[in-house]
């Protein structure tokens, strides 16, 4: 009978070296121990401005952020000891994310990574939020609002030229395909685009404010070309 190969990681801790299975490496050392453990009051809401600008996080960090918890190093231990039901939700969501990450969640392969295991890869927080919402996980409102998904499109390593090219192509497609896209004053209509998507059986992943933001940028590009 053959045995499956197992991967272990050697970590430095305050108590010396600790050998962990790869799948356990995101949990930190002594996660279940309560001695010298900070109180639950240590947990706080995420610094959303920081995470909006950072845009990327590891799976365990993204999972805690989706639960409106700042992913400090002791957060998982605090939840495990003081809030076991919340910790169970965290572990369930993390398990789903790590299992399906390579299939449904896009990875930025060029981003600096510390390893090849699922726990070491970074994911885009905006994609994680939309993924969690598609699974109808509760209480995602704080993350959606914190990442400003209804206000402006999040971008990652996107040059101005690249962004302008993408907006230009999108504008051309809408001009050709969407009835009522341009009104009499050459304004662009988010309502017309959303209606067009609905008529074609598609659900928009962006809301009207995001489309309006894109259309403002398109108008600015058009004005600069005329100058």
pLDDT at 108: 39
| Residue 206: both structure tokens together | 């962006």
Q: Could you give phi then psi for residue 27, rounded to 5 degrees? A: -85, -20
171-185 exposure pattern, b = at least 16 Cβ within 10 A, e = fewer: beebeeebeebeeee
> What are the tens digits of pLDDT across the range 145-192?
999 988 865 565 556 676 778 888 888 999 899 988 987 666 888 889
31 pLDDT higher than 50? no
Q: Residue 224 — pLDDT band, cuts 50, 70, 90?
A: confident
Is residue 147 within 8 A of residue 48, CB to CB? The reply is yes
Cα distance between the two ends of the chain: 75
pLDDT at 15: 55
Query: Which residues, 6 or more positions from 11, have their beta carbon under 8 angstroms from its beta carbon?
Result: 17, 18, 19, 20, 25, 29
Average pLDDT value for residue range 52-72? 93
Could you give the C-alpha distances from 148 to 8, 50, 55, 92, 151, in angstroms and in order? 39, 12, 11, 26, 5
Q: What is the DSSP letter of 37?
A: P
> What are the tens digits of pLDDT across the range 73-120?
889 999 998 999 999 999 999 988 887 765 555 443 433 344 445 556
Domain boundaries, the chain: 37-146, 160-226
């Amino acid at each position: 009978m053959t045995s499956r190969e197992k991967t272990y990681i050697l970590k430095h801790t305050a108590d010396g070296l600790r050998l962990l299975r790869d799948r356990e490496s995101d949990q930190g050392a002594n996660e279940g121990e309560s001695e010298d453990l900070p109180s639950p009051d240590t947990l706080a809401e995420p610094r959303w401005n920081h995470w909006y600008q950072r845009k990327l996080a590891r799976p365990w960090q993204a999972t805690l952020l989706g639960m409106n918890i700042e992913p400090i190093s002791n957060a998982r231990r605090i939840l495990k000891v003081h809030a076991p039901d919340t910790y169970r939700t965290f572990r369930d969501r993390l398990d789903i994310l790590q299992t399906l990450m390579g299939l449904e969640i896009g990875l930025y392969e060029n981003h600096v990574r510390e390893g090849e295991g699922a726990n070491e890869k970074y994911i885009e927080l905006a994609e994680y939020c939309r993924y969690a919402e598609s699974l109808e996980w509760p209480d995602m409102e704080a993350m959606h609002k914190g990442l400003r998904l209804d206000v402006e499109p999040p971008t990652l390593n996107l040059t101005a030229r690249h962004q302008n090219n993408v907006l230009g192509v999108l504008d051309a497609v809408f001009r050709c395909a969407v009835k009522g896209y341009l009104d009499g004053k050459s304004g662009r209509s988010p309502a017309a685009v959303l209606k067009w998507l609905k008529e074609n059986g598609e659900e928009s992943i962006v809301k009207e404010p995001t489309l309006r933001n894109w259309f403002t940028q398109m108008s600015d590009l058009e004005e600069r070309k005329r100058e």
